[in-house]
């Protein structure tokens, strides 16, 4: 396949050459001045019959370029693989599970990925819905992530894209709500010399291209955007919420979640596990860890303005649990869980800030002296040594072990079984 080489070409030169072509040989259309999609044959093979129009229509050999489609679009953290032991006892390297919302330490990077990058060609006069990736005589699907052995003919018709500024990019809305003026984070361009990255680098099967990674500048909503007629398919719809945690004292962040009451082994617990499979609702960089935990009595308020599932309302009040469990791969039993004894922390009865549970100074037994503690390393969703197994947090209220549902009274009050509770994690960068 004939390709335009990037050597010796710049955005300015290519655009100037295109401008000298007659209008009928350009992909014209309002709104496409800098966000135009060009074809290789416009510059190499001469003037390709092109139909001008308000949507920038492209026509080759009786086929019209109808749309672009990217499948299974998601954002994946980079360089954060963890060494874990699998079920056969072998140590393997795995990345943290991708999620709709991700918490990063300042300096961590993330990359958009997709399985296919398709051009959909429709024969003039035909009607195509493109339900899958199979081409028909009238409806051609050209996947640029997996070009055919003869790209000069159908389904790709010899067309090779040149993306200019605005055609495909990652943008950020710092307020977690989509706006009309987001900040540009990453631009996809065919020519790296023009300041962008090659769009094929995000194809999961094209390892010969550099993976386009970026370091989020701030917390917010990050999303793919295109000035062309592009569809981003996948569970995330081409977007992700990112929380950036700064390292250093006093720069920790907090995340809260609604607990659900559950009877386990005949006792009352209030539990939480992150939702979602295979894409988790939220996940965390292994460069972050939980330090302190507080439990509130009350129901969550809407936390979407901060990109969070839960906001703690002002009327919520602190309570003191007796102990918590954070059990990987929880199967409905505490006493039968093999990691029960090493995955529990009892409260510190002398805590004055409401952080009765501290993973940095975890008390595995209530009858131990207060100074006999062990540091635990976990994020809200997983332990680094078992990153593929979700944690289930179980909060217990045993008054004989110091639990108190009402800190304003001198006695240790039991927690009513119908109480609504919130768990709040303090999340600190390592």
Give domain status of residue 91, yes or no: no
In the sheet with 391-396, reading across from the earlier edge strand, the strands are 260-264, 267-273, 391-396, 323-328, 344-346
- Name the average pLDDT for the chain: 84
Q: Find the DSSP H helices in 177-264.
A: none
Give domain status of residue 99, yes or no: no
% helix / strand / coil in the chain, to the nearest 5?
10, 35, 55
Sign of the Cα pseudo-torsion (101, 102, 106, 111, in order): negative
* Claim to verify: residue 206 and residue 316 sit in the same structural domain: no
Range of the domain at 308: 253-429
Domain boundary among 198, 215, 243: 243
CA gap 41, 356 in Å, rounded = 68
pLDDT means per 10 residues in the chain (430 residues)?
26 27 28 30 29 54 93 93 81 89 97 94 94 91 87 86 79 94 86 64 90 94 90 92 94 97 97 95 97 97 95 96 97 95 92 92 91 94 91 98 95 96 97
CA gap 5, 112 in Å, rounded = 25
- Condensed to tens digits (0 to 9), the pLDDT of residues 205-250 reads 998 888 999 999 999 999 999 888 889 999 998 999 999 999 998 8
How many structural domains compose the chain?
Answer: 2
The helix (H) or strand (E) run that includes residue 18 is helix 11-19
Percent residues over pLDDT 70 in the chain: 85
Give domain status of residue 308, yes or no: yes
CA distance readout (Å), 213 to 20, 98, 102, 201, 280: 35, 15, 15, 9, 21
* Claim to verify: residue 392 and residue 268 sit in the same structural domain: yes
* Claim to verify: residue 52 and residue 172 sit in the same structural domain: yes
- Condensed to tens digits (0 to 9), the pLDDT of residues 282-298 reads 999 999 999 999 999 99
Give domain status of residue 96, yes or no: no
């Amino acid at each position: 396949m004939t390709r335009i080489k990037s050597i010796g070409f710049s955005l300015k030169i290519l655009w100037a050459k295109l401008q000298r072509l007659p209008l009928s040989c350009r992909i014209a259309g309002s709104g496409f001045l800098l966000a135009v999609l060009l074809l290789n044959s416009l510059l190499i093979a001469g003037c390709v019959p092109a139909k001008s129009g308000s949507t920038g229509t492209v026509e080759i050999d009786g086929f019209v370029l109808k749309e672009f489609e990217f499948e299974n679009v998601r954002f994946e953290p980079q360089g954060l693989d963890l060494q874990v032991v699998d079920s056969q006892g072998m140590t393997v390297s795995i990345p943290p599970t991708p999620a709709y919302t991700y918490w990063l330490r300042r300096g961590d990077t993330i990359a958009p990925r997709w399985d296919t990058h398709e051009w959909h060609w429709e024969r003039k006069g035909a009607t195509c819905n493109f339900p899958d990736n199979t081409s028909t005589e009238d409806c051609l699907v050209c996947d640029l992530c997996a070009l055919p052995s003869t790209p000069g003919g159908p389904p790709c018709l010899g067309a090779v894209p040149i993306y200019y500024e605005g055609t495909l990019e990652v943008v950020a809305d710092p307020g977690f709500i989509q706006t009309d003026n987001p900040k540009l984070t990453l631009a996809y361009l065919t020519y790296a010399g023009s300041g962008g990255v090659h769009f094929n680098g995000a194809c999961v099967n094209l390892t010969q291209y550099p993976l386009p990674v970026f370091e989020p500048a701030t917390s917010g909503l990050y999303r793919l955007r295109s000035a062309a007629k592009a569809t981003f398919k996948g569970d995330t719809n081409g977007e992700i919420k990112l929380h950036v945690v700064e390292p250093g004292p006093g720069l920790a962040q907090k995340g809260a979640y609604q607990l659900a009451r559950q009877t386990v082994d005949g006792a009352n617990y209030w539990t939480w596990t992150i939702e979602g499979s295979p894409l988790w609702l939220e996940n965390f960089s292994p460069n972050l860890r939980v330090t302190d935990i507080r439990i509130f009595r009350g129901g969550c308020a809407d936390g979407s303005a901060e990109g969070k599932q839960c906001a703690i309302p002002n009327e919520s009040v602190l309570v003191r649990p007796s102990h918590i469990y954070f059990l990987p791969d929880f199967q409905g039993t505490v006493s039968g869980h093999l990691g029960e004894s090493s995955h529990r922390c009892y409260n510190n009865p002398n805590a004055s800030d409401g952080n009765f549970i501290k993973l940095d100074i975890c008390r595995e037994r209530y009858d131990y002296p207060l100074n006999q503690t062990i540091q635990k390393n976990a994020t809200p969703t997983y332990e680094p040594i078992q990153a593929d197994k979700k944690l289930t947090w179980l909060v217990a209220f045993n008054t004989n072990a110091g639990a108190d549902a009402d800190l304003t009274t001198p006695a240790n009050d039991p927690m009513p079984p119908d109480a609504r509770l919130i768990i709040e994690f303090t999340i600190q960068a390592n």
